[in-house]
Amino acid sequence: MRDLSYAAVMGRKNEIMKASMGMDYNAFIHSPIAFDYERMMRDTGYSLDDVMRIQSDTKVGQTPLFELKNLTEAVRAFAEPGKGARIFVKDEAANASGSFKARRASISAFEAQKKGYQGMAAATSGNYGAAVASQAAMRNLKCIILQEVFDSKGVGQPEIVEKSRACEAYGAEVQRLSVGPELFYQLLMTLEETGFFNASLYTPFGIKGVETLGFEIAQQVQARCGQAPDAVVITHAGGGNLTGTARGLLAAGCDRTRIVACSVDLGGLHMASDADFNRKSFTTGHTGFGVPFATWPDRVDVPRNAARSLRYMDEYQLVSQGEVFFVTELLTKLEGLERGPAGNTSLTAAVTLARQMDCDQIVVVQETEYTGAGKHHNRQLSFARENGIEVRVGDPAGNVPGRTIVIPERLEQVRGKVQDMDRLRHSYLKNAAKAHPVSLWDESDHAFLAADLKKDVAWVKQAVQELG
């Protein structure tokens, strides 16, 4: 009989992880901070061509790129003369299971099948569960998805309820939990009991799968416009979307493309709080994940996170819930496309960017997901009202996460907010110091931190001194 107490299961974490992925992270780890990131990515054994081939077998990738001419015109109507970049969207709803997460699940499913696992398990309340379930279905693997769905009153956020439905539709068993710390414990027990593959969001297999997204954007923009995109806007939660896309753009030679992260501003709401759980109208792509994951990626269910967004990020914009709802409806009415909340978060940031950029420049937005049922903006707005949140029209500066959603009256009012990148980097360094005291940092730690922050070693040393 195995000891299933919390402490005992957590104590077996490393051996469970090793057995459920067939990957020994100790081979790359130098210290509690530094590890050989590129070696970890290379050791997956998959080239970009391999990934594309694998994905095409399971209905992933080669999604369309559309130019949003009407929205571009709408931005130009109030932009300064000569401003108003061309806005394109990469339509990731066209992947199997309806989101870019299919890219992320596809290589794990291939790997699980190749290594003879009977099934896959993942802890996620997002699109990723549906993606894993759909990829598993095509590869004849079993699938278990663990989700935080409910608050303590048993009320489920409509978007997560929709995702539960999708997972079950693709044949997965779904374990529904309420908000709390037991998700990881439950995942470990499931992996140990079933011997399934750990399809964590944060493995190098997942991030390798997203690289094709950046690569395709580069190729499609080049073929259509004869140049590289000037900026790509990427919705940020755990940071894998940004990491994989940026790596794919770099692999295609786009080293001057501006990588812009974007999240919905949910400042003041706590992600692990039962009371706040149903007071947010977005379940991903928000600051509740975006900021903590950017500033300490290794807070995950594998020993090291392959999603490391500050390595690649040039700018981080925040948008309000009301602004995203407005732009969601505008996309439908001007462009005839209904798409999901996470992608429209980026589209909202792109409006602000396009307004500042020249007319002949190109900004690409990842429309990362489908919409419908609980994901739809009308359902989210009625759920917000049911939870006592005021919804009104006016100046979006009046948005207060969890209290008020203010939908702009005009596109011109969509402004977003740029975050201070150095503040994020400093916060990362403080987290690194908690993981490993500064007095013990050696050359490999400094070099790793510099690469992880897109800075040089001198900057890291100076920042550490300033932070005391």
Ligand X SMILES: Cc1ncc(COP(=O)(O)O)c(C=O)c1O
Which residues form the interface with ligand X (CB under 6 A)?
99, 101, 126-127, 235-242, 284-285, 307, 342, 368-369
Measured CA to CA in angstroms, residue 74 lies from 272, 351, 401, 417 at distances of: 39, 9, 28, 20
Query: Smallest gap, in angstroms, from Cβ of residue 235 to ligand X?
Result: 4
Query: Smallest gap, in angstroms, from Cβ of residue 251 to ligand X?
Result: 18
Measured CA to CA in angstroms, residue 100 lies from 127, 150, 301 at distances of: 9, 25, 21
Residue 147 or 284 with smaller CB distance to ligand X: 284
> Which of 160, 199, 207, 203 is CA-nearest to residue 179?
160
Residue 307 or 429 with smaller CB distance to ligand X: 307
Residue 288 or 408 with smaller CB distance to ligand X: 288
- Provide the residue type at 404 as one letter: T
Query: Smallest gap, in angstroms, from Cβ of residue 1 to ligand X?
Result: 37
CA distance 314 to 340: 25
Are 164 and 128 in contact, with CB atoms under 8 Å apart?
no
Residue 110 or 312 with smaller CB distance to ligand X: 312
Cβ neighbours around 59 below 10 Å, total = 16
Residue 84 or 239 with smaller CB distance to ligand X: 239
Query: Smallest gap, in angstroms, from Cβ of residue 368 to ligand X?
Result: 3
Residue 245 or 278 with smaller CB distance to ligand X: 245
Are 72 and 87 in contact, with CB atoms under 8 Å apart?
yes
Contacts (Cβ under 8 Å, ≥6 apart) of 456? 450
Residue 84 or 206 with smaller CB distance to ligand X: 206
Supply the angle between the helices 101-114 and 204-225 in degrees, to the nearest 10: 130
Quick one: 49 exposed, middle or buried, by C-beta within 10 A (0-12, 13-18, 19+)? exposed
| Pairing label, strands 315-319, 258-264 | parallel
Query: Smallest gap, in angstroms, from Cβ of residue 238 to ligand X?
Result: 3
Query: Smallest gap, in angstroms, from Cβ of residue 345 to ligand X?
Result: 8
The β-bridge partners of 369 are 99
CA 432, 101, 113: angle at the middle one, nearest 5?
Answer: 100
> Which of 67, 133, 125, 123 is CA-nearest to residue 96?
133
Query: Smallest gap, in angstroms, from Cβ of residue 340 to ligand X?
Result: 6
Residue 347 or 389 with smaller CB distance to ligand X: 347
Query: Smallest gap, in angstroms, from Cβ of residue 241 to ligand X?
Result: 3
Query: Smallest gap, in angstroms, from Cβ of residue 365 to ligand X?
Result: 11
Rg value, the chain, Cα: 21
Query: Smallest gap, in angstroms, from Cβ of residue 390 to ligand X?
Result: 27
Residue 190 or 235 with smaller CB distance to ligand X: 235
CA distance 346 to 327: 10
> Which of 415, 399, 303 is CA-nearest to residue 75?
415
| DSSP structure string for 258-295 | EEEEEEE--TT--TT-TTTGGG-S-SSSBHHHHHHHHH
Residue 235 or 352 with smaller CB distance to ligand X: 235
Contacts (Cβ under 8 Å, ≥6 apart) of 393? 406, 407, 408, 409
Residue 369 or 445 with smaller CB distance to ligand X: 369
Query: Smallest gap, in angstroms, from Cβ of residue 169 to ligand X?
Result: 17
